[in-house]
Amino acid sequence: MPIQVFLVDDSPVALIVLKRILSSSPEVEVVGTARTAKEALALIPTVKPDVICTDFHMPQMDGLEFTREIMANFPRPILVISTAVQPEDTYNVFQLLNAGAIDVFPKPKDGLLSGDSQLAQDLIRKIKVLSGVKVFTRRNRGKGHQTHTHSHFKFTSPFTSVSPVSSSSKAIRMVAIGASTGGPQALHTILTQLPPRLSVPVICIQHISEGFLQGLVNWLNVQCSLSVQIARNGEIPQNGTVYFAPERYHLEWDRQGRFLYSNAPPLAGHRPSITITFQSIARYYGDRSIGILLTGMGRDGADGMDAIAQSGGITIAQDEASSVVFGMPKEAIALGAAQQILPVDEIASMLVRQIERRQSNGWQANDRG
């Protein structure tokens, strides 16, 4: 049975373009369209789509309120399709993700009617991914209870044990976090819990549609007590700062500990690749590093996490229950690369404890010396 998609956009041209693109795939069926959020809310309970695509700017009710209503009353995977070219627009897009939407995608240009274009293929692929993700309901508008439901498929987690935790006593000097589908929300959960004077840099590698990275960084920079920015080639990472790998480049380190952009071919379709950054961290920081792998489809980061573990670093994988897609963490666990498996809302506290424990051990070793 085809994946059933519902489109919400106040532009009739945008609806035509999106419908033609999605209809070019026999695996996708557009089962309804609406030009206002209120119209969509009236139709969706009857149509029961597998995936909902929405823009932010709509009359009567904007995309944020629409997303909240859907997640509270009829939870479904939501893809935000937006031009989002202005800073305030990108900030709003990520507010939708924080409200329960799963991912973002650039709105196709009016003239893009072919299903053969790369952007069209990427959109269809994104719809296929979202049709199988876990969605979290938000019945309380505040910080209240959240439950989750699945779409077409489930992952099961047969893993009951984890790898031994690193016994190194050296102070942590670098934390790296990799994420894909569901990552912005997971990163928000972790980064907003970190203290403002964190004694290490944090590097994030997030798979995201091109053009949205700066918006993600801007959104997190407002939400977090830490400074959040895109890593710059040749820059030395500073403690208490969160850096994101840039679009279109792998992020590595040179021998002087400076960020190094690499235009090497994509690894398993990804550039930046989580694995390449993790492997570079393993080489440069070794047992002074922590690698964290969050929600996402595929296996990017699994081999990189293994490299960090093999070098004596600490590794943490997000658990299945809190993952939108238990793909990348599952692969790392299957590889034996994850020393700890935690719900996303417990990762920050564990991270801080590990950093403080290593610092304390380092001071004691220096005192004995």
Strand order in the sheet with 103-106: 28-34, 3-8, 51-54, 78-82, 103-106
Residue 171 structure tokens:
């102070």
Residues with Cβ within 8 Å of 128's Cβ and at least 6 positions away in sequence, in order, are 3, 27, 28
Residue among 103, 300, 303, 306 flagged as catalytic = 300
Bridge partners for 189 per DSSP: none
Residue among 188, 207, 250, 270 flagged as catalytic = 207
Contact predicate 252/262, CB 8 Å: yes
Contact predicate 229/263, CB 8 Å: no
CA-based nearest residue to 187, from 196, 176, 197: 176
Q: Is position 322 annotated as part of the catalytic site?
A: no
Helix or strand run (H / E) with residue 220: helix 213-223
How many residues make up the chain in this entry? 369
Residue 60 structure tokens:
């009567």
DSSP assignment letter at 104: E
Residues with Cβ within 8 Å of 294's Cβ and at least 6 positions away in sequence, in order, are 177, 178, 179, 180, 182, 183, 186, 187, 190, 318, 323, 328, 329, 344
**352-366 in b/e burial notation, b at 16+ Cβ within 10 A?**
eebbeebeeeeeeee
Q: Is position 148 annotated as part of the catalytic site?
A: no
CA-based nearest residue to 72, from 20, 119, 132, 141: 141
Bridge partners for 291 per DSSP: 176, 315
Residue among 166, 180, 273, 280 flagged as catalytic = 180
Q: Is position 207 annotated as part of the catalytic site?
A: yes
Residue 176 structure tokens:
């790296």
- List active site positions: 180, 207, 300
